[in-house]
Structure 1
Amino acid sequence: MADDIAPEPEGEALPPSGSQVAAILMMLLGEDEAAKVLSRLDPDEVQHLGGAMFGVANISEPEIEGVLDTFVERARVRTTLGFGVDRQIKGMMHKALGQEKADKVLQRITPVKHVNALENLKWMDAGTIASLVEHEHPQIAALVLAHLEPQIAADVLQLLPEDKQADLVYRVATMGPVPETALAELEDLMNRPTKSVPTGAATRRGGAGEAAKIVTSSRKAAEQRIIKALQKLDKTLARTIEEEMFVFDNLMGVDEKNLGTLLRAVDNDTLVVALKGADEKLRQKIFGCMSSRAAQSIQDEIADRGPMRLAEVQEAQKTMLATARKLAAEGAINLGGKGDDYV
């Protein structure tokens, strides 16, 4: 009887993910070809793809065929318009204008690329970057910080002398368009200890927002020290960076006890206007810190106000955040410390 029982049908295997497809294709390439592909990826992409390659070591032949079919199908809808574009444009110009005239035109219109240096930063740890920029001109060091991820930039900042940290944050915050001379100097600096890596598009960085991210990613003690030093350099800029560091939506991360203390320090009119443009989840969290009667009163006032100018709402939110920062500085509330740090 046992032989008459049909086996349970196996469930259909899930199709491979995008990472698995890429990993399988990489495993099918020769070592040199695979190395060329990896050299064009960012560090986190190399790590992710490498892990996926270990995970597809026991792939079946039908699965490989399915991956190849998928690759061929996708490749058919892609064009080669962007490949070798520099060489193609140069060839057309030479044929149309002659080499001498074409070279002069190309010199004016060809985008200047200073991306090798910036790409190199992705492959360095904080200690290496800090030792690299420690004795360079502060503007070059600031340019490097502005092109790092905020957490890495904060780690680099902590490794640099304390008396330089506030100045560097100030330079990041006030950074405008970067001149070619600075980019050339940066490229020269990066090329000293490292080899060039594949190019990509360079972007403009810097500004109060970038500076705020770097300071926010630092430890609380360093954050407070840097802000105090910035206030001596430029009070207006220091206030702008502080505003960027803690925005109204960040109140979602404040617990009910501290939020309740803040609400008691803010007058009702400011609260009503500030909540007029707040996210609904944040509104409900704030209402949850009040008595039901007080919450209903605030909701009724919000409804009665009707449409309001965005500038009024933003000003009320800034006022409320200024009160929050003041209470935090006095130790009355905790806005969310880092690690074992408290305010």
Structure 2
Amino acid sequence: MQGEETKKISGVERAAILMLALGEKDAASILAHMGPKEVQELGLAMANMHKVSTSQMETVMHSFVDTLRNETSLGIDSDEYIRNVLTNALGKDKAGGVIDRILLGRNSKGLEQLKWMDPRSVAELIRLEHPQIIAIVLSFLDSDQAAEVLSEFPERVRPDIIMRISTLDGIQPAALQELDEILEKQFSGATNVKSSGLGGIKTAANILNLIEGSIESNIMEHVMSIDQEIAQDIQDNMFVFDNLIDVDDRGIQTLLREVASDQLLLALRGADEGLKEKIFKNMSKRAAEMLRDDLEAAPPVRLSDVEAAQKEILTVARRLADAGEIMLGGGGGEEFV
């Protein structure tokens, strides 16, 4: 395309063309420095890019050439390219959900439009739908937006929605078709939607992590009364061992006083370096040096043993948090004075 059509390229489309032109490795390096929403918006534009003209490329690259004679396409399998770039940039676990949303949202204008609506409007739009449809919609939204939407629902229905999100093992074509038809009536745009692995325990946990504390507690109480195993799985995913890095120094020191040294040694075998350094910083110099030496000299251990030790420490952390002695997450809530 040339002339007037070239001038109509939006900012995100220009960025998408640049990413496609750079190649997987360089594009992944750039995406790694972007936030989740930026990655998702840019990835969606990339997924919709099938052919890029030379004139469009000239505009995006700020070429010194005045005109280019022949149009060309990048000849890229967009879906595969998106998967490779996002996986390289974010890692397999983080990229999975973003990819699902990009490839699903590309074929469903209604779902994408929901992300630009305020939470109260989204809740109003779907409040009379079947709880399973509501669960699918919240699974598709970003966790912070989903948390705000969930807060707009009556207290009595929130636990059921969280339960459905937790047990949502992908989205079946029939359910997607139903959602597609509902949104088509509202936005007159959704078409063939792909199956996607949205939902699950982690999605429910992420939503609850970002919802107001008293609402979260009430939901978890109801979920616990319905299914203790699911409730425990959600709780385990709401605050994992590496999240301890967000606990303030005073809280870490309080926690360390309650944890046996051999238990800490085992748990740290599976921790990232940032958390290890935070632990060392909150110990005496001698104790930190001894722990470092023990970690270096320790023989291989089973992953299940490491995870068990981490869960025991998390249990202690939750007990201390419930007693008001430490504050998990570092942010939110009231300050201690």
* TM-score normalised over the length of structure 1: 0.68
Counterpart in 1 of 2:170?
177
Query: Unaligned regions of 5+ residues in structure 2, if any?
Result: 17-36, 46-57, 79-105
Q: Per-residue deviation at 1:338?
A: 4.9
Is the contact made by 1:170 and 1:230 (CA closer than 8 Å) also made in structure 2?
A: yes
Give the Cα–Cα distance (whole angstroms) in 2 for the partners of residues 258 and 297 of structure 1: 22
Aligned pairs, number: 272
Give the Cα–Cα distance (whole angstroms) in 2 for the partners of residues 114 and 330 of structure 1: 48
Counterpart in 1 of 2:189?
196
Q: 2:161 aligns with which of 168, 189, 197?
A: 168
The range that moved more, 120-129 or 318-327, is 120-129
| Higher Rg of the two aligned structures | 1
Counterpart in 1 of 2:136?
143
For 1:200-239, what aligned pairs fall within 5 Å after superposition? 203-239=196-232
Counterpart in 2 of 1:303?
296
Give the Cα–Cα distance (whole angstroms) in 2 for the partners of residues 199 and 69 of structure 1: 41
The range that moved more, 132-141 or 63-72, is 63-72
Q: Per-residue deviation at 1:178?
A: 2.5
Is the contact made by 1:256 and 1:289 (CA closer than 8 Å) also made in structure 2?
A: yes
Is the contact made by 1:116 and 1:187 (CA closer than 8 Å) also made in structure 2?
A: no
Give the Cα–Cα distance (whole angstroms) in 2 for the partners of residues 331 and 339 of structure 1: 14
Q: Per-residue deviation at 1:31?
A: 9.6
Structure 2 CA distance for partners of 1:317 and 1:75, relative to 1, 3 Å:
farther
Deviations 1:125-158 (A, max 9, x none): 2112101221211111111111111011001000
Give the Cα–Cα distance (whole angstroms) in 2 for the partners of residues 326 and 162 of structure 1: 26
Deviations 1:267-293 (A, max 9, x none): 111101001222222112101111122
Is the contact made by 1:154 and 1:215 (CA closer than 8 Å) also made in structure 2?
A: yes
Give the Cα–Cα distance (whole angstroms) in 1 for the partners of residues 274 and 219 of structure 2: 33
Give the Cα–Cα distance (whole angstroms) in 2 for the partners of residues 255 and 67 of structure 1: 50
The aligned amino acid for 2:139 is A
Deviations 1:87-130 (A, max 9, x none): xxxxxxxxxxxxxxxxxxxxxxxxxx973443332333211210
Alignment of 1:335 with 2:310, yes or no, is: no
Counterpart in 2 of 1:266?
259
Give the Cα–Cα distance (whole angstroms) in 2 for the partners of residues 313 and 64 of structure 1: 50
The range that moved more, 120-129 or 203-212, is 120-129
Structure 2 CA distance for partners of 1:199 and 1:121, relative to 1, 3 Å:
farther
**SS of residue in 1 equivalent to 2:176:** helix
The aligned amino acid for 2:262 is D
Give the Cα–Cα distance (whole angstroms) in 1 for the partners of residues 170 and 151 of structure 2: 26
Alignment of 1:29 with 2:4, yes or no, is: yes
Counterpart in 2 of 1:3?
none
Is the contact made by 2:172 and 2:195 (CA closer than 8 Å) also made in structure 1?
A: no
Give the Cα–Cα distance (whole angstroms) in 2 for the partners of residues 289 and 74 of structure 1: 64
Give the Cα–Cα distance (whole angstroms) in 1 for the partners of residues 209 and 228 of structure 2: 18
Is the contact made by 1:119 and 1:199 (CA closer than 8 Å) also made in structure 2?
A: no
The aligned amino acid for 2:4 is L
Alignment of 1:79 with 2:75, yes or no, is: yes
Q: Per-residue deviation at 1:201?
A: 5.4
Counterpart in 2 of 1:67?
63
Give the Cα–Cα distance (whole angstroms) in 2 for the partners of residues 117 and 169 of structure 1: 22
Q: Per-residue deviation at 1:185?
A: 1.7
**SS of residue in 2 equivalent to 1:218:** coil
Is the contact made by 1:154 and 1:218 (CA closer than 8 Å) also made in structure 2?
A: yes
For 1:50-129, what aligned pairs fall within 5 Å after superposition? 66-67=62-63, 69=65, 76=72, 78-79=74-75, 115-129=108-122
Give the Cα–Cα distance (whole angstroms) in 2 for the partners of residues 283 and 71 of structure 1: 56
Structure 2 CA distance for partners of 1:66 and 1:278, relative to 1, 3 Å:
closer
Q: Per-residue deviation at 1:296?
A: 2.6
Is the contact made by 2:180 and 2:191 (CA closer than 8 Å) also made in structure 1?
A: no
The aligned amino acid for 1:79 is G
* TM-score normalised over the length of structure 2: 0.69
What is the RMSD of the two structures over their aligned residues, measured on CA atoms?
3.8
Counterpart in 1 of 2:313?
320
Give the Cα–Cα distance (whole angstroms) in 1 for the partners of residues 198 and 145 of structure 2: 15
Counterpart in 2 of 1:281?
274
Deviations 1:15-66 (A, max 9, x none): xxxxxxxxxx99x63599659x97xx9x9759xx9xxxxxxxxxxxx99994
**SS of residue in 1 equivalent to 2:186:** coil
Identity across matched positions, percent: 34
Counterpart in 1 of 2:238?
245
Query: Unaligned regions of 5+ residues in structure 1, if any?
Result: 1-24, 50-61, 83-112
Give the Cα–Cα distance (whole angstroms) in 1 for the partners of residues 226 and 67 of structure 2: 57
